[in-house]
Amino acid sequence: MNQVALNPSYVLVLASAIFLLLIPTAVLGSYGILILYYGRKRVHSKKENQAYLQETNEPKVSIVIPTHNEEDVIAAKIKNLLESSYPREKLQIIIVDDSTDSTPDIVRAYHETVPQIELLRFDRRIGYSRSLIAGCQAARGEIIVLSEASSLMDPSTIPLLVSNFEDPTVGVVTGKSTILNLDENLGRLEGSYLRILDFVRDAESEMHSTVYMKGEAAAVRGDLVKDSTDLKDCPGTADTGIAFHVAKIGFRAIYDRRVKFYEYAPSTRKGRVQQKVTRGANLIKILWQFRGMFFRKRYGKFGLIILPMNFAMLTLVPISLLFGALFLCLLTMTNPIASLPIWIVICSVAFAMFLYSRTILPMLLEFEYSLLRAIYEILFLEKTHDMIEKVNSTRRIAGERSLHGLGGAN
Q: What is the pLDDT of residues 102-123, one digit of tens each?
A: 999 999 999 999 999 999 999 9
CB 261 within 8 A of CB 175: yes
CB 160 within 8 A of CB 168: no
Residue type, 214: K
Q: What is the pTM of this model?
A: 0.90
Residue-number span of the structural domain to which 362 is assigned: 1-410
pLDDT on residue 228: 67
Q: Cα(281)–Cα(36) distance, rounded to whole angstroms?
A: 26
Domain count, the chain: 1
Residues in contact with 24: Cβ distance below 8 Å, sequence separation at least 6, in sequence order: 317, 320, 321, 324
pLDDT on residue 55: 46
CATH number at residue 151: 3.90.550.10
Q: Cα(199)–Cα(255) distance, rounded to whole angstroms?
A: 10
CB 22 within 8 A of CB 317: no
Tell me the three state secondary structure of residue 261: strand
Write the DSSP assignment of 130-192 as a string of letters. Answer: HHHHHHHHH--SSEEEEE-TT-EE-TTHHHHHHHGGGSTTEEEEEEEEEES-TTSHHHHHHHH
CB 205 within 8 A of CB 255: yes
Q: Phi and psi at residue 15, in whole multiples of 5°?
A: -65, -40
The residues of the chain scoring below 50 in pLDDT are: 1-5, 46-56, 398-405, 407-410
Q: What is the pLDDT of residues 219-233, one digit of tens each?
A: 999 999 977 667 777
